[in-house]
Amino acid sequence: MDHLISPSLLAADFANLGNEVGMVNESVADWLHLDIMDGLFVPNISFGFPVLERVKELTAKPMDVHLMIVDPDRYLTRFRDAGTSILTVQYEACTHLHRTVTAIKELGMKAGVALNPHTPVSLLKNILPYVDLVMIMSVNPGFSGQKFIQESYNKIEVLREMIDSGGYEILIEVDGGVDMDNAHKLVKAGANILVAGASVFGAADPAEAIQRLKLLI
């Protein structure tokens, strides 16, 4: 399959939210990425349900929501009701990961699990049959604009081998420091979805930046 582009709203201008979402709507982006942070799992706070509900009204793209929060099980239904299509939780934040991803799928959303840079992909062996997506964090989560961690390529390659050898239909998403300098290599390593924040919303022409990431030009 062709790779997907999911621009990260965390890097957008929140004083101009409607226009920023409108730009994504009109671009060749496939999804819209939203990072939810609680100030506990990561040292930052992003936005909550009022913003998600407003984005739901504005966006024409599937909402790709990444929870960087403790005890995400408390809010799964609310995220579904706020318009989430794809809901990803952190491996490190879930005591009962199988129960969490099962609940997400029962609510009608695609279920993803994200790994921090220090977490080996081998730990996913027993959860792969139950997820739709695995996100490789290629920066330490919490802030937009960080430098890409080079070891991420190897993690993607190992994960791709695990997925293919198991015969699973699982997408690999990469989030953190994604730009035109590494996009082609990430896709070659096995990534299906590129999350891009600063490299899109910080560009002179964000729609063109999305198109370049999509076409790898």
pTM of the model: 0.95
Q: Helix, strand or coil for residue 33?
A: strand
- Residue 30: active-site member: no
- Give the whole-number percent of the chain exceeding pLDDT 70: 98
* Helices within 139-197 (DSSP H only): 152-166, 183-189
Which is the catalytic residue, given 64, 132, 175, 179?
Answer: 175
Which is the catalytic residue, given 35, 38, 132, 179?
Answer: 35
- Residue 71: active-site member: no
Higher local confidence (pLDDT), 145 or 135 = 135
Provide the pLDDT confidence category of residue 1 given band limits of 50, 70 and 90.
low
φ and ψ at 64, to 5 degrees?
Answer: -100, 95
Provide the pLDDT confidence category of residue 50 given band limits of 50, 70 and 90.
very high
DSSP 65: E
**Residue-wise pLDDT tens digits, 158-202:** 999 999 999 999 999 999 999 999 999 999 999 999 999 999 999
**Residue-wise pLDDT tens digits, 17-49:** 999 999 999 999 999 999 999 999 988 899 999
Fold of the 4-215 domain: TIM Barrel (3.20.20)
